[in-house]
Amino acid sequence: MITLNLTLPDTSYPIHIGQGLLDQVDLLLPFLSSGKVAIVTNEVVAPLYLARLADPLRARGIDVVSIVLPDGEDHKDWQTLNRIFDVLLTERCERSTPLIALGGGVTGDMTGFAAACYQRGMPFIQIPTTLLAQVDSSVGGKTAINHPLGKNMVGAFYQPRAVIADMRLLDTLPDRELSAGLAEIIKYGLLGDADFFSWLEAHMAELRHRDMSALQYAVQRSCEMKAEIVAQDEKETGVRALLNLGHTFGHAIETGLGYGAWLHGEAVAAGMVLAASASHALGWLTHDDLARIRALIAAAGLPTQAPDLGIAQWQTLMTHDKKVQQGKVRLVLLQHIGQAVIVDDLPQDILQRVLTGADIQSSSH
């Protein structure tokens, strides 16, 4: 087991990464002093892992409340969030009762938001069951639900007490979900570590074949980078925005197609290609750089072509993004592979050509 620590001005917490951690109940016991815990999971994960987590806790005399939600991005809304509150109130859970998120990014985001809201704040722990959640959404304290007009538009910054990433939980992850997680891993190489990007090029086949040592290294490196960035900028007033590479385009895809039509990682992958294309048009990325990015995303089993939403819908959806400031769409672009920057003045002609898939020639803007 490897343990990283995310240290913030007001709190710090461990990120445990290893194999078989779900069965190491001692990792949880320091956070369960109230003698009661509520586990939030979904209909897919519950039959696989809920009993393995709950039974050892009950054997230690802990009262376990189970909350099983419907699965999918299209259920990441107020109605599903209220189901968590209904059970917490019915079971007389208190402010000191910890919530455990056992699931992917949707479950983790909703559990964290519920924990932030219920009685104005209760402790919660992340046990991510997808690769995407292990490397991204479980770390850093972003919690939210979706709104019909925009993804993750209603939420709170609220940090977990611990993150427990058990690599063996990926054994049951569908291939499509594994690829979606690889999108966020590729993102870390693109935005801040060219050597890691090269490592991913060399090891993508092992990652897709679920080689445990390769997956564990990829999760560790991704969490190291995210923890370092979040420690500098918890509330996303500066450098943390770099973690949104591909996300402004990606969120527009998810909202425009309807939540759940594309997985988050699939939309981010196509969004990263759009961001790379814009960076190439600005004269920052070379043609070879752009080709490498497309090739790695394709090798991960991810889309390299965004859907045609139409310019009007693209622009409407992108202006509803959380990263809009003073009416300007802020994009994360690439000066090089491994070096990202925030741009809020991308020329409209370049943006339109990128969004329409027009042949883009590099310029010297």
**pLDDT of res. 329:** 84
> Would you say residue 364 lies in a domain?
no
User: What are the tens digits of pLDDT across the range 32-55?
Assistant: 988 999 999 999 999 999 999 999
Task: Name 116's Cβ contacts closer than 8 Å, sequence gap at least 6.
Answer: 143, 156, 158
Whether 361 is covered by a domain: the verdict is: no
130 and 229 part of one domain = no
Query: Catalytic: which of 36, 75, 142, 330?
Result: 142
* 3-state per-residue secondary structure call for the chain: CEEEEEECCCCEEEEEEECCHHHCHHHCHHHCCCCEEEEEEECCCHHHHHHHHHHHHHHCCCEEEEEEECCCHHHCCHHHHHHHHHHHHHCCCCCCCCEEEEECHHHHHHHHHHHHHHHHCCCEEEEECCHHHHHHHCCCCEEEEEECCEEEEEEEECCCCEEEEEHHHHHHCCHHHHHHHHHHHHHHHHHHCHHHHHHHHHHHHHHHCCCHHHHHHHHHHHHHHHHHHHHHCCCCCCHHHHHHCCHHHHHHHHHHHCCCCCCHHHHHHHHHHHHHHHHHHCCCCCHHHHHHHHHHHHHCCCCCCCCCCCHHHHHHHHHCCCCCECCECCEEEEEECCEEEEECCCCHHHHHHHHHCCCCCCCCC
362 within a domain of the structure (yes/no): no
Could you give the number of structural domains in the chain? 2
Q: Is 184 a catalytic residue?
A: yes
Question: Could you confirm whether 146 is annotated as catalytic?
Answer: no
Domain enclosing residue 36, as ranges: 2-172
Claim to verify: residue 337 and residue 217 sit in the same structural domain: yes
* CATH number assigned to the domain comprising residue 76: 3.40.50.1970
Q: Is 176 a catalytic residue?
A: no
Active site residue 240: yes
pLDDT of residue 151: 86
164 and 192 within one domain: no
Between CA 63 and CA 54 the distance in angstroms is 9
* Catalytic option among 151, 247, 322, 323: 247
Alpha carbon 23 to its chain centroid, in Å, reads 24
226 included as an active-site residue: yes
Model confidence pLDDT, tens digit, residues 256-289: 999 999 999 999 999 999 999 999 999 999 999 9
Last residue of a domain, one of 118, 152, 172: 172
Q: Does 363 reside within a domain?
A: no
User: Are 254 and 106 in a shared domain?
Assistant: no
Which of 151, 187, 264, 280 is catalytic? The answer is 264
Same domain, 192 and 147: no
Same domain assignment for residues 224 and 332: yes
Same-domain pairing of 149 and 17 = yes
Is 247 noted as a catalytic residue in this protein? yes
Domain-terminating residue out of 107, 141, 172: 172
| 251 given a catalytic annotation | yes
Domain end residue (candidates: 132, 155, 172)? 172
pLDDT of residue 322: 62
Per-residue pLDDT of the chain (365 residues; tens, 9 = 90+): 999 999 999 999 999 999 999 999 999 999 998 899 999 999 999 999 999 999 999 999 999 999 999 998 889 999 999 999 999 999 999 999 999 999 999 999 999 999 999 999 999 999 999 999 999 999 999 999 999 988 888 999 999 999 999 999 999 999 999 999 999 999 999 999 999 999 999 999 999 999 999 999 999 999 999 999 999 999 888 999 999 999 999 999 999 999 999 999 999 999 999 999 999 999 999 999 999 999 999 999 999 999 999 999 998 999 877 666 666 788 999 999 999 999 988 999 999 999 988 654 444 43
Specify whether 198 is located in the same domain as 248.
yes
Are 253 and 151 within one domain? no
Q: Provide the pLDDT for residue 82.
A: 97
Residues 166 and 234 in one domain: no
Same domain, 121 and 220: no
Domain of 236: which CATH number?
Answer: 1.20.1090.10
* From 36, 187, 226, 322, active-site residue: 226
